[in-house]
Amino acid sequence: MPGSPAPFASPAWLPGGHLQTIYPYFFVPLPSIPYRRERLATPDDDFIDLDWVDGAANAPLVVLSHGLEGSSRGHYAISLLAALRQKGWRGVVPHFRGCGGEANRLARAYHSGDSAEIDWVLRHLKQTHPDVPIYAVGVSLGGNALLKWLGEQQENAMPVVEAAVAISAPVDLTAAGRVLDKGFNKLAYTRHFLRTLKQKTELKFHLHALTLDRAAIRAAATLHAFDDAYTAPIHGFRDADDYWQQASSKPWLKHIQVPTLLINALNDPFLPAAALPASGQVSPSVTLEYPEQGGHVGFVSGPFPGNLDWLPARILHFLAKTL
């Protein structure tokens, strides 16, 4: 494709999905981003925090939905918003509830299928920025929630966003949960997620009269156990299996009408390649790209110590085609 980024190739010194996933957090230098924070009141008397990279009033706006326990400080957010700033576009990272550095007010938190929150945020931004193109980007959990919203809304999403990109989205939560709850994944990733999730849940027990099984939440050693004890019941699902099934975006991909790019590395340790959607499982509006390398939102390229330029360039190339 003329003008598209060069095909991704993992440097010889950085093989494998786990290294591609972990390496950016420790070794890739990142620019400093001057965020402007805005707090929005939600319709249910809670709040979310938005971190903005400002630009010209008529510049396109990219809305980035982050991953599980992520924020605007994640390497993928910083690298994308730095590229937006350089291009003269604007960007904003709406934090899922409890991820902006302060506990949210309600007993509920956020979850992988939180398409209602995606809907409210995007429609608010469209209402407040009616004359500029708005693009939606979702990473990991945020990518799954975004894809689910796009499929649910179908043509009703088209007046809201011009195009969308989902990166490393766990479109099959059951398949993703199974691999995250065993082996190296359980030690390297799940244990990290559970530490912060449990801390937030403990605070909710102090602030709210929760009737959940506190001992089961504290004892949870897998995402399935945590979701069974907290995420599912607090958000209206029967149990973890019901939550994972209902919140997965894969069944909704065939209904998407907005031009959408789905990028998942074949060596993503969070989702087996066999669980990735085939071309027959998505609508004609969805472009599938499955690079061989990249890990989970890693995509490190260039000579040592590496850079994160490939993913922002690929995202912006796709979005700019709709202008």
Which of the following is catalytic: 75, 79, 268, 285?
A: 268
Query: 3-class SS at 142?
Result: helix
Across the chain, the runs of DSSP E, i.e. the strands, are 36-41, 47-53, 61-65, 90-94, 134-139, 163-167, 260-263, 286-289
Which of the following is catalytic: 66, 75, 111, 296?
A: 296
Which of the following is catalytic: 10, 72, 140, 249?
A: 140
pLDDT of residue 8: 43
**Helices 173-180/240-247 angle, 10° precision:** 130
**Of 164, 189, 132, the residue nearest 282 (C-alpha):** 164
Q: Are 52 and 92 in contact (CB under 8 A)?
A: yes
Q: What does each of the 323 residues of the chain score in pLDDT, given as a tens digit?
A: 323 334 444 444 567 899 999 999 999 999 999 999 999 999 999 999 999 999 999 999 999 999 999 999 999 999 999 999 999 999 999 999 999 999 999 999 999 999 999 999 999 999 999 999 999 999 999 999 999 999 999 999 999 999 999 999 999 999 999 999 999 999 999 999 999 999 999 999 999 999 999 999 999 999 999 999 999 999 999 999 999 999 999 999 999 999 999 999 999 999 999 999 999 999 999 999 999 989 999 999 888 888 999 999 999 999 998 87
pLDDT of residue 302: 84
Q: How far is CA 114 from CA 182, 243, 283, in A?
A: 25, 11, 22
pLDDT of residue 13: 56
Q: Are 171 and 98 in contact (CB under 8 A)?
A: no
* Domain edges within the chain: 17-171+248-320, 173-247
Please name the amino acid found at residue 252: W
Q: Is 131 part of the annotated catalytic residue set?
A: no
Q: Are 224 and 236 in contact (CB under 8 A)?
A: no
Radius of gyration of the chain (CA): 19
Q: Is 268 part of the annotated catalytic residue set?
A: yes
Q: What is the rounded CA–CA span in Å between residue 30 and residue 24?
A: 9
pLDDT of residue 289: 96
| Domain 17-171+248-320 -> CATH class | alpha beta
Rounded to two decimals, the pTM is: 0.95
pLDDT of residue 323: 78
DSSP characters over 161-174: -SEEEEES--SSHH
Taking CA 72 as the corner, what is the angle to CA 3 and CA 244, rounded to the nearest 5 degrees? 90
Taking CA 79 as the corner, what is the angle to CA 298 and CA 129, rounded to the nearest 5 degrees? 125
Query: How are strands ordered across the β-sheet holding 163-167?
Result: 36-41, 47-53, 90-94, 61-65, 134-139, 163-167, 260-263, 286-289
